[in-house]
Amino acid sequence: MRNLKYSLEYFCSPIWIEEDNENPIYENIEIDILEIDHYLKDEINTLNNIYQSKYNDNYPPEPYSFSIAEEIIFISRVITSSKILIELLKNQYNVIFDTFYWEQRLTHLINELENK
């Protein structure tokens, strides 16, 4: 089974497919190629657009910031979309998503919000 990676990166689609099992190079593809529910496609495209809007042309290493509430909601949506993507594609792809990173970031932000 081929790997499919869900990963937000600037100037790219968030969907990456492993070229083949012997070659761990990932090709960036458009979400529309996948046979998944159009609501999920729309959600992933919306999340990607939000992410892309945070790119800072003046100083790329430091993207524009979210408010705490905005980032908590954004991350919650990314995590939820990943779970749905994994479930819908489980018979076609091994979906790779950095759940640990996203959940840790979410926990950190929630703690930060609670301690204000």
Q: What is the pLDDT of residues 14-50, one digit of tens each?
A: 999 998 767 778 999 999 999 999 999 999 999 999 9
pLDDT one-digit tens code per residue, 52-84: 999 999 988 899 999 999 999 999 999 999 999
DSSP secondary structure letters along 23-52: EEEEEEE-GGGS-S-HHHHHHHHHHHHHHH
Q: Say how many residues make up the chain.
A: 116
Whose CA is closest to 98, among 16, 2, 1? 16
Supply the pTM of this predicted model. 0.92
100 in helix, strand or coil? helix
